[in-house]
Amino acid sequence: MTKDAPMVEEITDFEVLEIALRELAIEKGLFTAEDHRRYTEFAEGMGPTPASRFVAKAWTDPAFKKRALEDPIAASLEVGIDWLNPTGFGTPSDFTALHVLEDRPTLHHVVTCTLCSCYPRPILGNSPEWYRTPNYRRRIVRTPRQVLAEFGLFLSPEVEIRVEDSNSKHRFLVLPVRPAGTEGWSEEQLAAIVTRDCMIGVALPKPGVTTNVARTVHPAAEPLEGHSAGK
């Protein structure tokens, strides 16, 4: 530590920007400090549970599955998510479509946002850190099989991989294949194995596995010719 090192951790430029913008918006009357507090509470309370229930319900109820694929926004209401006005207060943000990607035994979907970090937050909560890294975003579209293997997901060559690129108007949720060994399970039991990673498409649901893969973001092991290793 040099003698000039700060005694407390300094805040980042983005944090300074957020505070400045927020204080200005409050001063201008766009929203109140109380609105902001309520929104922050909402944002921190979001998680993948509604999406897990959504998938488990689709696995157990064919009529719900049909609704889930045809009109995911309407179907989301059945697991308590109002996609069009998720906070239940304030001004709903501009419309964003939600799509459900149905896996088959020979077709696997995985989701990214190559441009930034778009994610189906109202139903799946906040995105994991690795999802937002340029390393994941650049490489999953070029070498999906390799990147999935880095997550511990080894797909056989006959399984086609489709990478779906999210954007400001389109968000995606993967509906994985119901795994063997779950016959007769309740919706609640099934929901427990539908982890966040399964719905992004970097993991497959498996009896006994109820947590996400711990993932350290690291540079490409085999960087592509002409591209940086990604950071």
| Contact in structure between 167 and 143 (CB atoms under 8 Å) | no
Neighbours of 178 (CB within 10 A): 19
Residue closer to Fe ion by CB (options 76, 112) is: 112
Report, in Å, the least distance between residue 136 CB and Fe ion. Answer: 12
Q: Which residues of 92-108 are buried (b: 16+ CB within 10 A; e: fewer)?
A: eeeebebbbbebeeeeb
- One of 76, 118, 166, 198 is an active-site residue; which one? 118
Pairing of strands 160-165, 170-175: unpaired
Residue closer to Fe ion by CB (options 21, 115) is: 115
Cα distance between residue 201 and residue 149, in whole Å:
12
Residue closer to Fe ion by CB (options 79, 200) is: 200
In 22-136, at which residue ranges do the beta strands (DSSP E only) sit? 97-102, 107-112
Question: Is 113 noted as a catalytic residue in this protein?
Answer: yes
- One of 116, 168, 186, 228 is an active-site residue; which one? 116
Residues contacting residue 230 through CB under 8 Å, at least 6 positions apart: 133, 134, 135, 138, 139, 219, 220, 223
Cα distance between residue 150 and residue 133, in whole Å:
15
Residue closer to Fe ion by CB (options 131, 185) is: 131
Question: Is 117 noted as a catalytic residue in this protein?
Answer: yes
Report, in Å, the least distance between residue 113 CB and Fe ion. Answer: 4
Report, in Å, the least distance between residue 140 CB and Fe ion. Answer: 13
Which two three-digit tokens encode residue 50?
């509604």
Report, in Å, the least distance between residue 4 CB and Fe ion. Answer: 38
Report, in Å, the least distance between residue 181 CB and Fe ion. Answer: 36
Pairing of strands 170-175, 97-102: parallel
Question: Is 198 noted as a catalytic residue in this protein?
Answer: no
- One of 76, 113, 166, 198 is an active-site residue; which one? 113
Point out which residues bind Fe ion (CB under 5 A): 113, 115-116, 118
Residue closer to Fe ion by CB (options 11, 116) is: 116
What residues act catalytically? 113, 116-118
